[in-house]
Amino acid sequence: MARKITPERRERRKQLLALLQDAGINDVEGVQDLFKEMVGTVLENGLEGELDEELGYSKYDYQNKQTENSRNGYSEKTLKTSLGDLELSIPRDRKGEFDPQLVKKNQTSLSGDIEEKILSMYAKGMSTSDIESHIRDIYGLSVSDTTISRITDKILPVVKEWQMRPLESIYAVVFLDAIHFHVRSEGQIIKKAVYIAIGVQMDGIRDVLGMWVGENESAKFWLGILNGLKNRGVEDILIACVDGLTGFTNAIEAVYPKTEIQQCIIHQIRNTTKFVSYKDIKVLMVDLKKVYAAVDEQTALFELDTFEEKWGKKYPKIALSWRSHWPNLSTYFKYPQEVRTLIYTTNAIENFNRQLRKVTKAKSVFPTDDSLLKMLYLAMMDITRKWTGRRKDWGAIHSQLEIFFADRLPE
């Protein structure tokens, strides 16, 4: 059914046609040139207004002039836009203090500025409809979902290059974990794992080593990732912090046989207490804390025996699980407190994952693996921009690592 044209819209069309006829425009190219001229006029008027504000008086209004500075003609600038090159006359001041904001001094592209804004908003998890609305409000331009997708797709080659970049030869600690998202694949919505590795360099600086989209989390996929890290130059990992995925330890040992493995205590607590009655959980957690917060491994095993005597009949699987995973759960007991707090949980990567989920919460389903990866990459760049410096206690940690791993560290 054809949409009815309202009298108001018919009148606007009539006025527009008259405007085009008066300007001698009768084709699409002419319309584009007119629009480009309008954009140029708006920008030049805006720049004149900025200089008025800078100097404190408008052009020729010498009575209100209260500065030694003054206008000094114009400089020509060419901006690249989606409609072609746009010639602008940029007003100048005599002292060279004027710093325009509408069109910045080093700006060479109008569309590039818009694309930068789109990428920034996309990185913060804004939906395409919200991005479209903001661009319309800021620039008075309409951008479609297809245009936003085309702009954000430009980041994919950068992501691929980032995934293949060379890495450090030795990492003090590497945290390995996965988060899950729903992705559309061949007409179905399936749950996919995003594998994430965060490394702590020997100077204490954190770095996201990579993010990989795969099927449900598996030790086999992790093996491929670890081989990939080795191919990118990682010769040794002193300590790897992981969750309790079956086969994870074997995958690490196959690639890095000397690496110490610390299974995340927090994951273990969650996995073994999720079916505990709410009436028991508070008291049970106090007793369980005596195990993982013990001063040394011998005390921890004593507390585990005590825990089992008290809770074994009601919750037999808890102590059984802790004992079966003990070799990797107890690794941190051999280190001093500074190193323990760094490795006994995967908080470093879980905090990162939490920020990723904040960004992606507006997207319940991603149309492709690439659409998921580009959003995560842009979000990662936004998150890690705030990662400045190293841990305050890194000096103490490094000193301990130098002693424990003297045979594996270069002199």
The alpha-helical segments, DSSP class H, found in 219-315 are 219-231, 248-255, 265-273, 281-292, 297-311
Query: Are β-strands 260-263 and 236-242 bridged in parallel, bridged antiparallel, or unpaired?
Result: parallel
Tens digits of per-residue pLDDT, 146-155? 777 777 787 8
Percentage of the chain surpassing pLDDT 70?
Answer: 91
Candidate from 46-60, 113-127, 169-183 with smallest mean pLDDT: 113-127
Query: Which run of H or of E encompasses 55?
Result: helix 28-55
pLDDT of residue 138: 60
Q: What is the mean pLDDT of residues 325-333?
A: 94
Q: Which residue has the tokens 């449900």?
A: 216
Q: Is pLDDT above 90 for 137?
A: no
Query: Which run of H or of E encompasses 172?
Result: strand 170-185
What are the b/e assignments for 146-169, b being 16+ CB within 10 Å? ebbeebbeebeeebeeeeeeebbe
* In contact, 122 and 337? CB cutoff 8 Å: no
Q: Is pLDDT above 80 for 17?
A: no
Q: Is pLDDT above 50 for 168?
A: yes
Tens digits of per-residue pLDDT, 197-231? 999 999 999 999 999 998 777 888 899 999 999 99
What are the b/e assignments for 177-187, b being 16+ CB within 10 Å? bbbebebeeee
Q: How far apart are the first and last CA of the chain?
A: 80
Tens digits of per-residue pLDDT, 354-388? 999 888 887 888 888 988 898 899 889 888 988 87
How far apart CA 302 and CA 298 sit, in angstroms, is 6
Q: What is the pTM of this model?
A: 0.69
pLDDT of residue 331: 94
Which residues are paired to 193 by β-bridges?
A: 180, 214
Give the confidence band of 1 by pLDDT, cuts at 50, 70, 90.
Answer: very low
Q: What is the mean pLDDT of residues 121-134?
A: 75
